A = this chain, B = another copy of it.
Amino acid sequence: MSSSRAAAGGEGGRAGASAGSRSGSGTPAGGAKAPDKRRLILDAAVRVFARQGFHACRVSDIADEAGVAYGLVYHYFQSKDQVLDTLFLQRWDVLLEAIRETDARAIPAREKLEAIAGFIVDSYRHDPDLMKVIIVEVTRAANSFGAAHLADITLAYGLIGGIVDQAQRDGQFRPEISAEFAAQAFYGAIEQVLTGWIFGVVDEDDGA
């Protein structure tokens, strides 16, 4: 479910304005024919982006890493940007869904936030490269991809803010600081800790 939706979401941003002109788009429309190479390219891109960074790498690096020809990347994706867009949307949808699901549970707000933090940390432990790419190249890249996906990113803050807001009305949380401020600080703290792990400036122990 999530993969098809994420793959379809290709408004992109930068790059050409000639979208949706050809037949389909990413996935070869109806007949599920060649999911192999497309997936291969995405997985290779994660590794290359994580290793060299999005801007520092060339499309040929991705093709080489995937073991396919240069042109094939453009057979499955409209642009280099769209490869990253796809990776991001795919994962971000999962995160948003996890937040919504957590929020729906009948547990104290504090535990909800702990669950969300735990989910993000688990995502990192499960696939560090992918999380590195998403955080470093999108979430924290406010001038490039962060701007293109600002709405999606802000949605996550909003959901977290909603949890805090509700808890403040219930009297679970103190009302001194605004919910959206708290949400921002909460998310920022998690992301910074992950960034610390990613770049090895702190080693991985917990506490929260």
Contact = CB atoms under 8 A, between A and B. Distances in A.
A53 B185 CA distance: 24
Contacts of A154: 201
Nearest to A180: B202
A34 B150 CA distance: 43
A187 interface: yes
A186 interface: yes
Interface string A101-133: 000000000000000000000000000000000
A55 B188 contact: no
Interface of A: 53-56, 136-137, 140-144, 147, 150, 154, 157, 176-178, 180-182, 184-193, 195-196, 198-199, 201-202, 205-208
Given A140-B140, A142-B136, A181 B193 contact: yes
Contacts of A189: 184-186, 188-189, 192
Nearest to A154: B201
A208 B186 CA distance: 13
A181 to B, nearest CB: 6
A199 B150 contact: yes
A11 to B, nearest CB: 19
B184 A202 contact: yes
Contacts of A187: 192
Interface centre among A142, A143, A186 (most CB of B within 10 A): A143
A175 B100 CA distance: 32
The 7 closest A-B pairs by CB, nearest first: A188-B192, A177-B207, A53-B143, A185-B189, A140-B140, A188-B188, A189-B189
A119 to B, nearest CB: 17
A172 to B, nearest CB: 17
